[in-house]
Amino acid sequence: MNQDRVEFLFDFGSPNAYLCHRVLPALAARTGAEITYVPILLGGIFKLTGNASPAVTLQGIKNKGEYTSLETRRFLAEHGITDFRANPHFPVNTLHIMRGAIATQGTDDFERYVDEIYRHMWCEPKKLDDPAVLRSALEESGFDADSILSRTQDPAVKAELIANTEGAVERGVFGSPSFFVGSELYFGKDRLEQVEREILRQRKGNP
């Protein structure tokens, strides 16, 4: 594998994955690394690993939710992100929008699809597991909604998302955002500095 290739395992339903998406271009510019987006299904990851959304795991823990919010505010301020909005429908079932990522991957629409779905999820929040809302969002963004929604039912698309998800778990992943620099796994937006250091370390061939 190209040592300058970073795999970003993402699901649109993770706000922290979205925040990573916003800062990855700057990381790529600083390091010259290639960022490869790998769609996974977070619900499937949780099921296979016994993990759960922070919306579940933070319940009943005094002060932890408040600190998580503080950490998010600090990250937004540090990176000058002013358009992030909490999605009132969180957690959203992301099955169809992640299949849409698979369906558009390898096409000229993929990068814009990722940008636009993230916008509809975390900047202008919508309930994207509602089929009518999703169709409207795709059309608003100028996509051929019929084509994308049709492809989400393609057995090959379904199988690829399953394979990505199961393969991620086999490699040690338990949530999103997760990153691989070579074979080195990192989890969470607070590990981005370590990701950057690892890119440079591997490039130098340090043990």
Q: Token pair for residue 178?
A: 């997760």
Distance separating alpha carbons of residues 39 and 46, to the nearest angstrom? 15
Q: In a 3-state reduction of DSSP, which class is residue 134? A: helix
For the chain, domain boundaries? 5-204
Core vs surface per residue 100-123: b (16+ CB within 10 A) or e: bbbbbbeeebbeebbebbbbbbbb
Mean pLDDT over 179-195 rounds to 95
Domain boundaries 5-204, corresponding CATH code: 3.40.30.10
Range from 4-8, 36-40, 138-142, 146-150 carrying the lowest mean pLDDT: 4-8
Distance separating alpha carbons of residues 78 and 85, to the nearest angstrom? 16
Give the model confidence (pLDDT) of 57-82 as tens digits.
767 888 988 898 999 999 999 999 99
**Residue 4 predicted with pLDDT over 50:** yes
The residues facing 31 across adjacent strands are none
Give the model confidence (pLDDT) of 120-179 as tens digits.
999 999 999 999 999 999 999 999 999 999 999 999 999 999 999 999 999 999 999 999
> Would the pTM of this model clear 0.85, i.e. be above it?
yes
Give the model confidence (pLDDT) of 80-104 as tens digits.
999 999 999 998 999 999 999 999 9
**Residue 34 predicted with pLDDT over 50:** yes
Residues 197/78/68/24 CA torsion (nearest 10 deg): -50
